[in-house]
Every structure is written in C-alpha cells, then in structure tokens.
Structure 1
C-alpha cells in the first residue's frame, strides 16, 4: 500500500469511495426534520502572542457570548480546570467537519490488528511489520494477538504512538508505522471508512474529507511509460494521448465503486441496523506521493484533479509523505509549478497542501524560508495543512495577510504537530494565524496512529490558548465553512472577519427553533454545504439548551 506519507509497503490499490449523493440527501433530511523567519530572524515564540491573548481574533477582541451561548460559556468556565468534566463538555460539543484526515492512519490500531487476523496475515517479529503468509521462521500469525496480550500490546506500540517515550524520535516512529501496517489497510478501504465515519459521528461532527491514493499502480505505470518532460503542457498532453489518463481515471472510479459497496455492507446501510456513519457526508482527497520521480508526481496530480472534475466523490488533491524527505525538499518548487499549471487545466478541482510541516533542526534553514509562501502564491492552495514553520519563512507577515484576504484556511492537528515536530503551546503558530485573521480549523490528521480524537484537540485548544465558548463554536463553524462541499454557504460574507451571520436567504431564521422559510429551504435543498451547516446549527441549539439556554 502507499501509506500516508512513508514509502510504499505495497501498492495502495483501493481508493476513494463512499458516495455522497444519498448521504447528502440524508443530511438535508436530518437538517429539516430538526427545524521565518523575519528579517531579524526572530524565533517562533517571539512572533506568537501569549496563550490568553491568543483568543483574540482579527478584530482584536474575543466575541462575547450571545444570549443562547451564555449557559454553555458559564459551564465551560466552571469546568475548565476539571479534565474529566471538560472532556465530557467537549464530547458533547458539535465540532463541525474533519478536513485533514488520512484514512489509513485514522482507524484504531486495535481494529487494524483484528483485520490482520481476519485476513490471515503474518507479522515479522524483528520489525513488527504485517506481511503476506506463510508464517514461517521469524514470523507470527497476526491472529496470535487475539490471545497473547503481550504480542497484541507490542503491535499497538509498533503501529501507533502508544507509550512512545517523550525523548524518542517521534518523527521517524510516526512515519514508520504506515509501512508496518500497510499490508492490512489496502485491502479494506470500505471497512476502514465505516469505522472512521462512525467515529466522526460519535464525535458530534457532520462531515468528513479523507485522503487516500487512487489507482496508484496504474498511475505509476502510465508515468513510467510517458517519462519526464520539463514542458508541463506537453507532458500533460502525453498523459492524455490515446486515452491513457482517462483509463486510469476509470480504474480509480471503479475502485471507488467497490470501496463504496464494501462500506455500505460493513456499515449495514439501508437496513434497520444501519450504523451511524451511513448518514455522514464524505468526500475524498486524492493523495500525491511527493517523494516520487517528477513524472510520477505530475501524473498523480493530474489524475487527482481530473477525478475531482469528473466524479463528485473526489474534491481535491494533496501532497503527502514527509515534507522533509530528500526528494520532497529538492523538488518542492517544481511541485508547486506543476500544481499551478494543472490548476489552469482543471480549474474546478480544489487544492489543499501539506506545507510548512517543518521545524528548525529538522531541515536546513534555507528550507524553512518559503514552503507555505509558495503553496499560497505559486500553487494557489485553498487550504494549508499544518503550516507550523510559518514565522521562520521569509516575508511570513505578507503570507498570512494574503491567506486572510483570500480566506485560505490552515488545518491544525495539535497532537500530530507535537508528536512529529515537538511543537506545541506558544511555539505553535496557532495564535499568530488567528491574530492575522486567517481562518483556522482543528483536525486530527491520523487519530489512530496518534491515539487521540477531535474532542482531545478541542480540549487542548481550550486549555492551552484560553479559548472562550464562542471562539470554540466559531472554530467548529469554520471547519464546515472552508470544507470543499459544493454550494453556497449558510453564512454571509467572510465570517472569519465579520462573524457568522446568516445569509440573506435564511436571515431571521432560528435553526432548531423555527422551520426554515421558503427561501431558506431552497438554499438548504440546493447547497450541500448549507445543509450540513444548518444541521450543525440545530445541534448547537440543542447543546446550548442543555445549559439552560432560551428555547
């Protein structure tokens, strides 16, 4: 499988499934029924604001709670120093959408072990890597983990960050996990998605974008047949000549169909025992392995963008594998130019990019100076994943002002950043992005590997940066506002700057209290995005009523 960001353990064959048309209909029905480095080379901590003042947004002051929010805000204040009660509060909190999620790294390690046992796989005991049978010398049956607790626990530690020592090399261990369980994940995309979708629903989220790699073997073969050409227009023409790229697109769509069937069977969709994830809107982001040869990288980019324009289940492209890898660093500017060219060919395809997942000491200073800036200015990314090395980039203030002006959101997975890069607290640019008015969304990245969930990330944000309830609520709203769902937003204007005010069609409506009027109903029927946003607002109303909010 082609793993999240590590090298392939074997080709990632499945890809992209979970159809959205029926799921969006279910969502709409549910909604209606609910009626730098700078020139002086300062450090990151010098450029971030303090934890408490981090709660101030672009306008310079926190948003005070509205009448309906006051009970929830008071409860949050009362339990802020009680981890158990705080966890319960954030479990119940509606938390928007999950926008930065790698399917292979999102499933619990325990479930991967069980799948390995079901498939009769073996484990090389020297590396704890899942492999095909037979289970000869130096190998154990994965099924042994069902009865041997020590073996089971050793697999959990090898395949995740469980019990990883604080002083260890988290970066290398994190990325190595994907190669160790890779033989498990490529077989069952639908089953993996069923597990992840249920988790997202249990976390009180309403939408999922997840990443995987479409038709990787055929894309690689096509790239090798075509070869490299520095003239990107000519290279794209060679890929499409004779229907070559279209055949790979068709294969990827076939994989998506098969994965969707597996998902629906595993989740028992359409039956009285349907699992919660059946009603979750899901979209796929096509991964591109940035450590490959230029022709392979370009082919994967073109495939993902062509899919995004031809199949509504696919919405965007992203680059994966370690950003600090040798090829990823050497070819970074070339990759940005490739994306810029292909965005001109496929203007309806979205682009979100891992950029700035770097830190001093991991790479040479010259590699810290431009990655986020080039992703924004050259590639035209609509969202940035991680963006951790922001203040080490040349002209970083101009970059964040551009991101704010264009509403380019940054996807922040706190635990992943801490485990891989050792960056947390005031070293993290979370506060800086918010201070400049950049949209921020919280995400999990690889919650199975990290051993966390989105509730943990919201709780971390609240405790570390002193966020108020209205600010946390707006973070959840932002994760739907900047999702790649089609249709008009429920909100008017730029909500990161001006606040979340209902669009004209729904102005005066009270989600969860009143039945939408004709204009609002039309918006909710015609816009997948607005339908999911309305559904979250209904959930917020119910959540706040639990703390004595007015009906």
Structure 2
C-alpha cells in the first residue's frame, strides 16, 4: 500500500478491526480453539495443506517447546521475537516508519500540523495549524497525530480501508525529506527482529518523472512512447536524479546508523535493496514513465532491483486501466529483461469492487505482466479459473507476499477467509511480510505468531516460511537451495553438500559460493541463526 491520493475508493463490506499489536499477539497465541475459525472455507481446509516435511531431531525439540508454551504469553513473545524470520519482501518505506519517529522528524524540520485533519504542512504555521514540536509537551496532541497517522485505537466498525490509505497523505510532507534516516530506523527494526534482508519500496525521482511524462504525453504505441522518453537523453536525466537521491539517502543512512565507526548499528550489516513504486492511479503516460524509470534503474544500479504498482487497487483509474498497465509491463519487460517485477494484485474483496473486477487481476499479473511475485493476492478464489492460476504460480515458483495484519485492517479478511492455506495447498511459495508496519502498528514477529496460531503451523513450517522469504528475494547471486524447495524440501546445492547449512566452516567450494553470492550468504547466515535458536528453544 501507499499514497491514498486516488479517487474512487469504496468501503469494504466486512468491518475492519483495529490495529493488531503486541496485546493482540498474546491473545492470538493464547486463546482457545473457539477464538479462531478453522481454516476450512474460502481459505482452504487445513487437511488440504501441504504435507509436513520430516523434522530433524533439533527441530522436533523446538516444535515441542513451542507446543508447551502455547498458553504462556511472555514465553511466546520471546520465542517469536527471537525466531529467525528471513527477509521482508513487501515493505513500503514511508508506511514502515513509526508515527512517533515521523513526529520527531516533523519537529526537527519545523513542520506544522493542520489540526482539523492532522496533516503535516510546511511552515510557517497559519491559522488552524500548530507546530509539530507542540507534540513533545502536549500528550493529547501527540496521541491525536499518532491515531491519524496509523491504525492506533481505530474503531472496529470504522472504515479501515480509507483511514489506512489516508494516513500517507497526512504525513507525506515528512517522509520525502529524510529517506536515509527512515531507512536506518526500518533496517534496525528488521535486524532486531532477526531478519537478514529487506526490500523496501520508494518512488524515485518522482517530480522529474512526472514532468517528463507530461512533456511527452500519451501514445498507445508503446515502442514509440518509449522512444520519446529516451530521446535526447531525457529518461537518463531522470535516472541520474534518482541515483543522486539514492546516494543522498545512503550518506544519510550511514551517518544515522554510525556505519564504519565503533558505534555501528545493526542496520549497517543488513542487506537492503530498493523497489521502485509506480503510482497506478496516475494518467497512463505517468504510469508508463515510472515503469520505465524503475526498470531502467534496476538494470543500471544494483541498489534497485524491481518495480511494483502501488496505490489502492480499487481506485477508479486503477480499475479502469488495469489491463492496459499489465500490457505496458509486458512490453517493458522485453526492453528491460534484467529488471524484476513484483506486483500488488488481488488486493480486493467482495463488496469493495463490482463482481467483475474480482475475476482477473492476479491472472493478468502472472500471465500478461510476467510478475515474479504477487503482493497480497487476497481475492484468489474469486477469480475465474483461479485453480489454474494457483497451479501456474506453483509451477513457476511465483510466491505470494502475505501481510496478514494489513489484509485484516484494510479488507477485513482474516482467518479462514484468507487464502493463505489455499496457496500452500497448491504448492505456491508463501512469504510473510509487514507491508506498512508503522501504520499497522505491527511487526514481523506478530505476523509469524498470528500465522502459527491461526493456521496451526509447526516450527518446521515457520522455519520454511522464513527460508522462502530469502530464496524468493531479489538479492543477487546463486541460491543456496536446489530445485523447488516448496515441493521438494530445502536441500543445499552440491557446492555446500555434506556440510550442515550455517556451519562456521563451510568448506572451500561452499565458501567460494558464499563469497560470490549475496543471496546464498544471507541464507547461510540465517541457517546459522536457526542452529543457535534451536539450541536455546527446545525441550
């Protein structure tokens, strides 16, 4: 999710609950069976879930420990906090930062808050606005900002969809100013949550891309339109601006996290890559231009790996132009074959859009745009020939990025209604993600805890979810795992065969792989963390 500035939003039919935070994590894990629907309706029967792989002796000990602490809130919090949790592949930087941190940045920059809407604006503070700095000494004012900028205390019968998306516009004046500082906060949080990689979404060179698109205008001949964009080096000037923004963010990030000093924070050791956002609610020429910018960046700057379409999928223009945008991506993938594509698709639900809009979004993202990952994918079973789409995703190893809290807050979809179990039953790789944890008031530990209780997952299944979130990330390099691990299990490639994954002495051939591949190195690091975790949490 990102910017709410899209017309045509509709209220979901299902009421949306308030943010699921630390207290809800405890109640989720400790409630009796009656507190949760059995995953047997649209989400697929639990009996249909994939066969559980045989556990090792150490995994069985950790699984027994998890079973034993099911009704111990403190022990559960510690377990899921310490659990190695792979990477976060679906994360919007502006929505990932806590509102408290953003209030601090607004104060630092001397911004104002319009009290009628709690929207941050540039100074000076006119009538109806207060300095953001007032939040430091006025607790009621501070808390009102937090509620407006997040799902904190949101009523169970409220319109979570609109409140969630509207938050981006309210703090937008803050987030564009200090991308590096915000990245340091998000990366430190991920490291503290025992993650090993983050892909986070930003909109590179936004103003320059809009100006170029408006100057070129629309042409439904994609080749001609692309030629106009690159003519005279115009697109490359936008790319240069985007790279300068990334340089500035890197500098600010390193200063904030004290990288290269004796006080270096954990964020400095965490691999982070950018995913370029494309505003799907914009005019076609702007959408095409942003796609070209993001894909060209991904081929020319290793810090950028992919593009993604953002803004509400149910927006009026987003719905109208959906098929057109998939065709744009199909064309541009031919121009930029090395750029990755991950797409928000199927973030819809009955009552939010007309029935005909539920029939094809995931399928088109997979078959037309060639998406390598699908974000949300909530409306799967409402699509035409959805079983074929699920089988295609399984065969091509196209994972679905699942932010459970976000889906509950925005769409009111949770538990048995969510297709989490259905994807797994079809062999589709599943990765848990946070989406916008600053707005949702959640973290990745909660997402794993919620999934474990709601869908009856064993420790081995949780472990494989974490492994999948690194395997299917766009971190470059050869993979540690061979074949299709969702189908065949996680088995190391020959170079690291005969050595326990994560061992401090991997052997010469395996060491060469790890030194040459950032992806395999992150996966190996997580396997070592699993060894330590299983020694500490076992029966």
| TM-score normalised according to structure 2 size | 0.93
| Contact 2:313-2:347 within 8 A present in 1 as well | yes
Indicate which of 535, 539, 545 corresponds to 2:525. 535
Task: Map 1:426-437 onto structure 2 (within 5 A).
Answer: 426-437=416-427
Indicate which of 458, 480, 487 corresponds to 1:490. 480
Question: How far apart are the structure 2 equivalents of 1:169 and 1:47?
Answer: 23
* 1:193 and 2:183 correspond: yes
Question: How far apart are the structure 2 equivalents of 1:424 and 1:221?
Answer: 41
- Cα offsets for 1:495-529 (capped at 9, x unmatched): 01000011110011123445011110111011110
Question: How far apart are the structure 2 equivalents of 1:514 and 1:205?
Answer: 19
Task: Map 1:118-137 onto structure 2 (within 5 A).
Answer: 118-137=108-127
Measured after TM superposition, the shift of residue 47 of structure 1 is 3.8
What secondary structure does 2:406 align onto?
Answer: helix
* 1:53 and 2:51 correspond: no
Indicate which of 348, 354, 378 corresponds to 1:358. 348
What secondary structure does 2:413 align onto?
Answer: coil
Query: Where does residue 501 of structure 1 map in the other structure?
Result: 491
Task: Map 1:369-408 onto structure 2 (within 5 A).
Answer: 369-408=359-398
Measured after TM superposition, the shift of residue 46 of structure 1 is 3.7
Considering only aligned residues, what root-mean-square deviation do their CA atoms show, in Å?
A: 1.3
- Cα offsets for 1:335-389 (capped at 9, x unmatched): 0000000000000000000000000000000000000000000000000000000
| Contact 1:65-1:73 within 8 A present in 2 as well | no
Aligned residue pair count: 507
Indicate which of 5, 21, 30 corresponds to 2:3. 5
Question: How far apart are the structure 1 equivalents of 2:63 and 2:493?
Answer: 25
| Contact 1:4-1:212 within 8 A present in 2 as well | no
What secondary structure does 2:233 align onto?
Answer: helix
| Contact 2:291-2:307 within 8 A present in 1 as well | yes
Indicate which of 508, 511, 514 corresponds to 1:521. 511
Question: How far apart are the structure 2 equivalents of 1:519 and 1:513?
Answer: 14
Moved more, 109-118 or 65-74: 65-74
Query: Where does residue 445 of structure 2 map in the other structure?
Result: 455
Query: Where does residue 230 of structure 2 map in the other structure?
Result: 240
Measured after TM superposition, the shift of residue 473 of structure 1 is 0.1
Task: Map 1:100-139 onto structure 2 (within 5 A).
Answer: 100-139=90-129
What secondary structure does 1:397 align onto?
Answer: helix
* 1:285 and 2:275 correspond: yes
- Cα offsets for 1:15-51 (capped at 9, x unmatched): xxxxxxxxxxxxxxxxxxxxxxxxxxxxx9644323x
Task: Map 1:91-240 onto structure 2 (within 5 A).
Answer: 91-240=81-230
Query: Where does residue 410 of structure 1 map in the other structure?
Result: 400
| Contact 2:86-2:195 within 8 A present in 1 as well | yes
- Cα offsets for 1:87-125 (capped at 9, x unmatched): 211101000000000000001110001111111111000
Question: How far apart are the structure 2 equivalents of 1:293 and 1:99?
Answer: 27
| Contact 1:100-1:385 within 8 A present in 2 as well | yes
| Contact 2:120-2:170 within 8 A present in 1 as well | yes
- Cα offsets for 1:467-501 (capped at 9, x unmatched): 00000000000000000011111011110100001
| Contact 1:512-1:542 within 8 A present in 2 as well | no
Measured after TM superposition, the shift of residue 80 of structure 1 is 1.9
Query: Where does residue 304 of structure 1 map in the other structure?
Result: 294
Task: Map 1:293-332 onto structure 2 (within 5 A).
Answer: 293-332=283-322
Question: How far apart are the structure 1 equivalents of 2:253 and 2:64?
Answer: 41
What secondary structure does 1:123 align onto?
Answer: strand
Gaps of at least 5 residues in structure 2 are 7-38
Measured after TM superposition, the shift of residue 68 of structure 1 is 1.9
| Contact 2:3-2:311 within 8 A present in 1 as well | yes
Task: Map 1:27-46 onto structure 2 (within 5 A).
Answer: 46=41
What secondary structure does 2:53 align onto?
Answer: coil
Measured after TM superposition, the shift of residue 79 of structure 1 is 1.1
| Contact 1:409-1:441 within 8 A present in 2 as well | yes
What secondary structure does 1:130 align onto?
Answer: strand
* 1:82 and 2:72 correspond: yes
| TM-score normalised according to structure 1 size | 0.91
What secondary structure does 1:278 align onto?
Answer: helix
- Cα offsets for 1:432-451 (capped at 9, x unmatched): 00000000000000000000
What secondary structure does 1:211 align onto?
Answer: strand
Indicate which of 238, 241, 244 corresponds to 1:254. 244
What secondary structure does 1:384 align onto?
Answer: strand
Cα 1:131–1:514, aligned 2, differ >3 Å: closer, same or farther? closer
